[in-house]
Amino acid sequence: MPGASLMEELRQLWRMRALLAVMTRRELAARTAGAAGGLLWLWAPPVLTVAAYFLIFDVVFGMRLGAHAPTDRVGTFLVVGVLAWSAFADATQRAMMSLVDAGGMLQKNPLPPVLFPARAALASAAVFVPLLVLLVLLYAPMHHFRLAVLGVAAMAAAQLVLGFLLGYLLAIMAAALRDVIQLVGVLLSLGVFLSPILFPLTMFPERWRPLLWLNPMTAPVLGYQSALLRGEWPPLAVWAVIGVWMLLLTLALGVAVQRSRDQLVDWL
């Protein structure tokens, strides 16, 4: 039964949660090992990127969006989607590479493969969640600290799960065929245009809009925009689409884990 293998892996992941925490901390430390700035370099690039968006579009050019947008300021709008997308792309890409990168370790240590994409997704979350908290503190005054802003936490949790499921699925596929890595790199570059990140959903031509739902981040981005820009709980449709994506990815991952479990390490 396909789901049984995945469930067993998830149970193993829970049993080895202490090791997972150690591995996540080490992953973060390894990214900046040898740098004088240390862990600061984990946060500096995304902070500087979103700060640049804000300064250029809102302060320097003072660009404005149309009436149906969740906010009229372009920079403020872009920061929400770009940060969420950066977190998603980072988690997905690192999780996808995690098994190929850990091939040597998996061939010498009896560790469950699921540890590695989970570590990548958690390490990515450790970088981006503090930035989302910062964003909440900066945006909450716009709508007088409404409770709905807490919807960001639910979106972040959903995004973490989506990033892990998709990243692990892609990691198995990348182990089978390395071309997957190149293909996903291209898709992540294009994905930012196929989502309501650079433009509000209302600005997309109506006949093209259904295409946006092929991007697993469309619903979370709409959820973030709703909570941060409007101070409203993400609409039901957003939750429904996220649920469908999770279900589909879980099923696909269950099948992939089942079909690859006896040979995954050989592929690495």
Partner 1 sequence: MSATGSTTEADNAPLRLEGVGKAYRLYDSPRARLKSLLTGRDLHHSHWALRDVSLELRRGQCLGVVGHNGAGKSTLLKLITGTLQPSTGKVLRRGRVTAILELGAGFHPDFTGRENLYFGGNLIGISREEMARLEPQVLAFAEIGEAIDRPVKTYSSGMVVRLAFALVTAVEPDLLIIDEALAVGDQRFQKKCIERIEAFRRNGCTILFCSHSPYHVRHLCDVALWLDGGQVQRIGPTEAVLLAYETHTRLSAASGHQAAEASAQASEALIVPTEDVAATLDSVPRDVSHPPVLADAGSAAIVSVQLESLQDPEPGSHEPALLAAPDLVAQIVVRGVGDECPNIGFMIEQSKGVGITSIASHEEGAAPQRQPDGTWKSVLTFPDLPLHSGEYVVSVYLFDASGLVVYDQWYQFLHFRFVAPTRMPGLVRLPHQWS
Which residues contribute to the site for partner 1 (CB under 8 A)?
18-19, 22-23, 26, 29-30, 33-34, 104-111, 172-173, 176-180, 255-256, 259-263, 265-267
Nearest Cα to 20, choosing from 99, 84, 113? 113
Q: Cβ distance 169 to 252 under 8 Å?
A: yes
Minimum Å distance from CB 13 to partner 1?
15
In this complex, which beta carbon is closest to partner 1, that of residue 33 or of residue 67? 33
What is the rounded CA–CA span in Å between residue 217 and residue 205? 19
What is the rounded CA–CA span in Å between residue 137 and residue 128? 14
Q: Cβ distance 2 to 258 under 8 Å?
A: yes
Minimum Å distance from CB 19 to partner 1?
6
Under DSSP, the state recorded for 73 is: B
Minimum Å distance from CB 185 to partner 1?
17
In this complex, which beta carbon is closest to partner 1, that of residue 239 or of residue 267? 267
Under DSSP, the state recorded for 235 is: P
Minimum Å distance from CB 259 to partner 1?
5
Q: Tokens in use for 130?
A: 């503090």
Q: Cβ distance 74 to 58 under 8 Å?
A: yes
Minimum Å distance from CB 183 to partner 1?
11
Minimum Å distance from CB 171 to partner 1?
12
In this complex, which beta carbon is closest to partner 1, that of residue 206 or of residue 266? 266
What is the rounded CA–CA span in Å between residue 199 and residue 126? 28
What is the rounded CA–CA span in Å between residue 96 and residue 117? 7
In this complex, which beta carbon is closest to partner 1, that of residue 72 or of residue 179? 179
Residue 138 to residues 55, 108, 197: CA-CA distances in angstroms?
A: 15, 47, 19
In this complex, which beta carbon is closest to partner 1, that of residue 173 or of residue 219? 173
Minimum Å distance from CB 127 to partner 1?
19
In this complex, which beta carbon is closest to partner 1, that of residue 168 or of residue 233? 168
Residue whose token pair is 């109506």: 206
In this complex, which beta carbon is closest to partner 1, that of residue 31 or of residue 64? 31
Phi, psi of 155 (to 5 degrees): -65, -40
In this complex, which beta carbon is closest to partner 1, that of residue 40 or of residue 150? 40
Residue 73 β-bridge partners: 64
Which residues are CB-neighbours of 56 under 8 A, at least 6 positions away?
75
Minimum Å distance from CB 163 to partner 1?
21
